[in-house]
Amino acid sequence: DVKVTQSSRYLVKRTGEKVFLECVQDMDHENMFWYRQDPGLGLRLIYFSYDVKMKEKGDIPEGYSVSREKKERFSLILESASTNQTSMYLCASSFSPGSLSNQPQHFGDGTRLSIL
């Protein structure tokens, strides 16, 4: 089974802090994703990466950056945390078999981040 591990289940930080959310997958997947989930809004894509050191903006990248130095690890960075970034953050990964197919995304357990 695919295992996507997020480093923290709950995290509390202060306004203005630099925050790192870490995600590791164990299936050698090419693609990795960061979403935020808010009640009534579903999941919204922040950033994704289809290869090491490659990244693309999603729908709501403002206030966030990402890092992918190794294939198995994808980090989400809040450069200067603000209260409106209080949310659930979900990491996912997927396999790219050379041509696009119906490969699903596999998700971690989520990090509930509170910015005070």
Phi and psi for 8 in degrees, rounded to 5?
-130, 145
Out of 7, 77, 86, 107, the only residue in the binding site for other proteins (CB under 8 A) is 107
CA dihedral 67, 71, 88, 15 (to 10 degrees): -20
Taking alpha carbons only, the member of 36, 4, 49 closest to residue 22 is: 4
* Closest separation in Å from C-beta 62 to other proteins: 17
Q: Is 28 in the site for other proteins (CB under 8 A)?
A: no
Out of 21, 92, 113, 115, the only residue in the binding site for other proteins (CB under 8 A) is 92
Segment near other proteins (CB under 8 A); pick from 14-22, 61-69, 70-78, 89-97: 89-97
DSSP helix/strand/coil, 97? coil
Out of 45, 63, 77, 86, the only residue in the binding site for other proteins (CB under 8 A) is 45
Structure tokens at 6: 């997020």
Decide: residue 15, CB within 10 A, 0-12 exposed, 13-18 middle, 19+ buried: exposed
Q: Which amino acid is at 69?
A: E
Closest to other proteins by CB, 14 vs 54, is 54
* Closest separation in Å from C-beta 107 to other proteins: 4
The residues that touch other proteins, with contacts defined as CB under 8 A, are 31, 33, 40-45, 48, 50, 58, 88, 90, 92, 94, 96, 100, 102, 104-110
